[in-house]
A and B are shown apart, each in its own frame.
Chain A
Amino acid sequence: MSSSDLTWEPSPREQERRAVRRALRRRRGLLAAVVTVTVFVALGLVVTSSEGWDQFKALFLSWHHAKEAFPAIAKGFWINIKMFVVGEILILVVGVLVAVTRNTVTPWLTPLRIVAVIYTDVFRGLPTLLVVFVICIGVPALRIEGIPTNVTVLGTFALVLCYGAYVAEVIRAGIDSIHPSQIASAEALGLGRAQTTRYVVLPQAIRRVMPPLLNDFVSLQKDTSLVASVGVFESLFAAQDYGNYNFNYTPLLVSGLFFLALTIPLARLTDWLGRRALIRERGR
């Protein structure tokens, strides 16, 4: 309001309060640090003092084998990346379409609504591995002209089918959580049902379900390894292959690190995006 008091100086009482707040914050920080360090040190001691620790180290933590297997795993991981980048985009499209379809009311779309319900029920219920097998082996067996036979492509398609069903339900839950007054005020402004969904409901819904959506996407990243079972040489397959020849399992952990290196930044990024949106809306 007034800009007259740029000269404002905190009163002694306020300065005292700030000091107390700082002290409280410091005390909380210290407590958190002590608790954290104690817990992790204790855990580390339990593991490293166990009887089989040396054996475990030789089998899972060999620097030599990590280096040897690295190129093959990295090459395989490139396949994982391609699969889930393409997959995530398609899944989001499928998920939104199915969720929105299920929430429509026009009688014209009744058959589509039924298809959407059956789709989610079936593909959520089937084990992902089964769908991968059926699509990657069954579809080429049909020998239909023009349908791709590349297993990586088919495997991605299978994953999209399964995860699309999960994501559709997550998004539908988000849509249902938006208060009816939002829809009422959008329609009162003259927006149509589709516009209301597109510009008012979906943006709020997607933001609200960001954490569970991320869950599904991280889960998808890991499940790209399922295509190993139909012979795609992705990173986990490469690691396993190396391990079986050399009797060492370090490559499995290396492959695991690749997955983590992708998942953790993604989680931090979505957290940051969510917080930024909140700050913009609530002004603090």
Chain B
Amino acid sequence: MTEVLLQVENLRKSYGDNVVLDDIDLTVAKHDVICLIGSSGSGKSTLLRCLNLLEQVDDGVISFGGREITDPRIDPRAVRREIGMVFQAYNLFPHLSVLANCTLAPVRAGGVGRRDAEDRARTLLARFGLADKASVHPDQLSGGQQQRVALVRALCTEPKLLLLDEITAALDPELVGEVLEIVRAEAEAGMTMILATHEMAFARDVATSVCFLHQGRILEQGPPAQIFTAPREERTRAFLQRVL
């Protein structure tokens, strides 16, 4: 019954001689929450960047909504309008207010009216406890607040798929919770997500499926209950022992 949203086949990406992703296969159905785990340098960020067409892949096919998006004739902007991405380093625009950060893409690239975009942004900001920060500039916010704004900004474009790259890695533990709360709420609301994370407890909690990346390959994939309790691969076990 599940409808496939994103399909990756035989993906390969290298920087010069350094093969960063090799033979990646991944199927993401609507409402899936896929967690990418793996040690530093295993290729999680690179995979997310490839999915968003921020990197040109060396080989393999990525299909999104049934259409091959690795086709050179495709307009990457049209694809990215449907895929939201949040980076580890927030990457908010410092010269714009929080509200303007959230409405820039919907108004300029999405063809949404300013009034509608602002209404939606305010609703989301309020839902995530940022109602009073709409007119403030990002540098005046705490890390957790900035990251929540970055999430709201991504959600404002009403993406079909959300890519989150270690969005809590730069936050102190106290702030991690408030950001993950948003992610959890979105997951429960049915948002399809792929997230790279080091928060194993969170992954176990929200993921429908967990992928363990090792040296640019998906070594093991399965439901969190299986990966975290009975991993098939020795290297997965070793990794989990180190981080849990």
Contact = CB atoms under 8 A, between A and B. Distances in A.
A274 B217 CA distance: 36
Interface residues of A, number: 17
Contacts of A11: 10, 59-60
Nearest to B68: A13
Interface in B37-66: 41, 43, 58-61
Contacts of B215: 1-2
Contacts of A8: 12, 19, 59
Interface size bracket, B side: 20 to 34
A180 B61 CA distance: 42
A179 interface: yes
B118 to A, nearest CB: 27
Contact of B61 (A1, A2, A13): A13
Contacts of A5: 19, 22
Given A8-B12, A14-B59, A1 B43 contact: yes
Given A1-B43, A8-B12, A11-B10, A17 B19 contact: no
Contact of B18 (A1, A17, A180): A1
A145 B94 CA distance: 55
A2 B24 CA distance: 14
Interface string A1-40: 1110100101101100100110010000000000000000
Interface string B68-100: 001111000000000000000000001000000
Contacts of B19: 1-3, 5, 8
A146 interface: no
A2 B22 CA distance: 9
Nearest to B216: A1
Contact of B71 (A3, A20, A283, A284): A20
Nearest to A8: B12
A93 B88 CA distance: 39
A14 to B, nearest CB: 4
26 contacts: A1-B18, A1-B19, A1-B20, A1-B41, A1-B43, A1-B215, A1-B216, A2-B215, A3-B17, A3-B19, A5-B22, A8-B59, A10-B58, A11-B10, A11-B59, A13-B60, A14-B58, A14-B59, A17-B70, A17-B71, A17-B72, A20-B72, A21-B72, A24-B72, A179-B94, A284-B15
Interface of B: 10, 12, 15, 17-20, 22, 41, 43, 58-61, 70-73, 94, 139, 215-217
Interface of A: 1-3, 5, 8, 10-11, 13-14, 17, 20-21, 24, 179-180, 283-284
